[in-house]
Chains A and B, each alone.
Chain A
C-alpha cells in the first residue's frame, strides 16, 4: 500500500573540530525494512539520524532515498518522517492541527486533509481526540499523536529517535508491538535509533550495533545475539559471560581456569575469548559438568531464576538463567555444562 523505497548511506562521515562523530559509514536499508541503530550515547547514531534527516551535512558521502540523492536537500524537501524522543508536539495547536500540520504545509485541501487526519487518528486509536489540547494527553497518547503526525503525510522513510524512551515499562512494551505492526502494515522503510537493546531486538528486522562512530556489527537480531563478532557487541546486546584466554594448537584454555579447555580447530594461535550466553549454560551436580562453580546468589525473576556463580580463577561472576530451582548442596558447589558451543572471539577484554 506504500511506495516503499530503499535508503542508502554511502561513506557518510562527520567531524566536529577534533572529534570524529562518525567514521565513513555505509548502510543500505531495504524497502519496507526496519533497521535499528543501537549503541551507547556518543556512538554516532544520533549524528547519523541528523544527517539522514538533513539537520547536519555530512563531511563526505551521500544519502539516497530510492534513486533520489537528497544529500544537499534541506529537511523539508526530503520527504522523511521523524518521530522525536519527546514527541515535539506543537503545544499551541490541537491534536488535529498537530496531525494536519504536514498536510497544511503541503497545501492539501481542507476537506481532503480532514479526511486524512481522521484516518490517521483512527489508525493510532485516538479517533475522538482531535479537539483536545496537547497538554490534556498522557505520555502514551502524545506518542501516538506524534506517530500519526509523521505518518499522515506518507513519507518515504520514517525515522524513530528513541521513540519509547519517555514511557514507563509496561506502556513501552505495548507500544513496541503496536509501532512494529503499524510499520509493517505501512511497509515503510524505517530507522530506529535507540540505546535500549530490548527495543532494538523486538522491533527491528536488522540491528546495526554502533560504537565509537562506526557500525560494529549488522545483522538480524537472532544472528547478532547468537554470534556477536566482538566483546563490545556481545556485552552491549544481552548478558554475556566472557572468559578470556589463549588459543594454542587447536585448544582454547581460559586464563586462571585450566579446567575450561575447549577444542577449537581451524583457528590460528593467539589471545582469545569465549562468550557464554546465560541461558545456554546449565547447572548440574558437582563434577558432572565441564567445570565446577559455586553458587553465590539466586534471584527469582518470575519467569526464570537468575543464578550468580563464581568460578575459581575467574574474576567476574558467571550468570546463568534457569527455568527451575535446584536443591543446592551445603557448600554451594555445582557443575556447569553447556549444550551449544560458546562463541569464540579473537580478542580479549582490556
Chain B
C-alpha cells in the first residue's frame, strides 16, 4: 500500500555494457508481428472490399452499435464477463482467505491445485466439461444413480456449461490476485480490531476486506479482460446459446470471411481491454497515494 519504491540506481555510464542497439531485434520483432498486424487490422476495419461501394470509415463500428443483433452480442459479451467476474470474486475470495489464513501446511497443495489446470490447454478443459456435462456424461449418470434426477439434463450447448467452464478457467487468476494481497496484511491487524471490541465479522469487514480491495480489483479486471477475449468456452460448449464478440469474430473469419467486420469487432474488444487496464492503473495510483 505504501508506494515507497526505491528505484535501483543505474551504474555509471562507463560501466554499462548494454546500449540502445541491443533492443533492435526485439523492436523489429514487435513491429513485424505486433504493430503491423494491429495497424493492418485497424485499417482493414475501416472498409470492406467485400461490400462493393461506399461504406464509410466507421460503417463497421456503426453496425456493431446500431444493429440490434450485433449490439445484443456486444451487450451479452460484457454481461457474461461481468457475471463470471462476480462469481469468481464470490468463489475466489473465501478460497484465497482460507488458503492464506487457515490452510497452514496445506497451502502448497491448494496452490498446486490452482496452478496445475493452467498448464492444460483451454481447449482440452472445455472438452473435459463436454464429457462431464454430456447427456450420458458423468454428472448425469451420477445424479440419476443417486435418484436426484429422473431424466438426464443436457447442459452441453447450454449457457450454464459456458459459465461453468469460464469460471473454472479464470478462477485461479482471481484467487492468486487476492491471496497475494491478503498475504501482505499482518494478522495482528485483525487481532487489534478484535481487542477493540469488533466481532470476527466486523473485524473482517472493517479491516481485512478494505485492505484487500486492491487484490479484488486487480483480479476482477484480469478476469473481466480475459473473459472478454475467450471464445473457446462459447464455441465448444455453448452451441450458439451464448453469442459473444470473440465467438462472432471466429465465425466471421471462418464462415462469412468478412475480415473487415471481424477487425472492427476485434478493435472493440481491444478497447474494452485497454479500458480495464487503464481503470486498474488509475486505481493502483490512487491507492499508492
Contacts and interface: CB of A to CB of B under 8 A. Distances in A.
A101 B191 contact: no
A80 B211 contact: no
Contacts of B256: none
A189 interface: no
Interface stretch (A9-17, A86-94, A244-252): A86-94
Interface in A188-219: none
A105 B195 contact: no
B26 interface: no
Contacts of A76: 194-199, 203
B207 A105 contact: no
Given A88-B186, A90-B189, A133-B289, A82 B207 contact: no
Contacts of B289: 133, 135
Contacts of A91: 1-2, 211
A75 B189 contact: no
A53 B195 contact: yes
A55 interface: yes
A346 interface: no
B134 interface: no
Given A90-B207, A105-B202, A133-B289, A75 B188 contact: no
A101 B196 contact: yes
A150 B186 CA distance: 18
A55 B191 contact: yes
A236 B76 CA distance: 72
Nearest to B3: A135
A38 B115 CA distance: 46
Contacts of A74: 194, 199-200
B195 A101 contact: no
Q: Is the interface of B mostly helix, strand, loop or mixed?
A: helix
A135 B202 contact: no
A141 to B, nearest CB: 16
A88 B198 CA distance: 15
B197 A105 contact: yes
Given A84-B188, A88-B189, A91-B1, A75 B194 contact: yes
A150 B195 contact: yes
Contacts of A170: none
Contacts of A169: none
A108 to B, nearest CB: 10
A80 to B, nearest CB: 6
A88 B211 contact: no
Interface string B1-17: 11000000000000000
A102 interface: yes
Interface string B54-69: 0000000000000000
A86 B186 contact: yes
A318 to B, nearest CB: 44
A86 B199 contact: no
Given A90-B207, A135-B2, A84 B197 contact: no
B136 interface: no
Interface centre among B191, B211, B289 (most CB of A within 10 A): B191
B191 A75 contact: yes
B193 interface: yes
B151 interface: no
B259 to A, nearest CB: 49
A81 interface: yes
Interface string B201-212: 011001100110
Nearest to B213: A92
A65 to B, nearest CB: 14
A105 B1 contact: no
B191 A92 contact: no
Contacts of B186: 86, 88
A62 B138 CA distance: 55
B31 interface: no
A38 B38 CA distance: 69
Contacts of B2: 91, 135
A256 B191 CA distance: 55
23 contacts: A53-B195, A54-B194, A55-B191, A76-B197, A76-B198, A81-B195, A82-B191, A82-B192, A82-B195, A86-B186, A88-B189, A91-B1, A91-B2, A92-B210, A102-B197, A105-B193, A105-B196, A133-B289, A135-B1, A149-B196, A150-B195, A153-B196, A153-B197
List 10 tightest A-B contacts by C-beta distance, closest first.
Answer: A102-B196, A105-B197, A88-B192, A75-B194, A82-B195, A88-B188, A105-B198, A76-B197, A135-B2, A76-B194
Interface of A: 53-55, 74-76, 80-82, 84, 86, 88-92, 101-102, 105-106, 133, 135, 149-150, 153
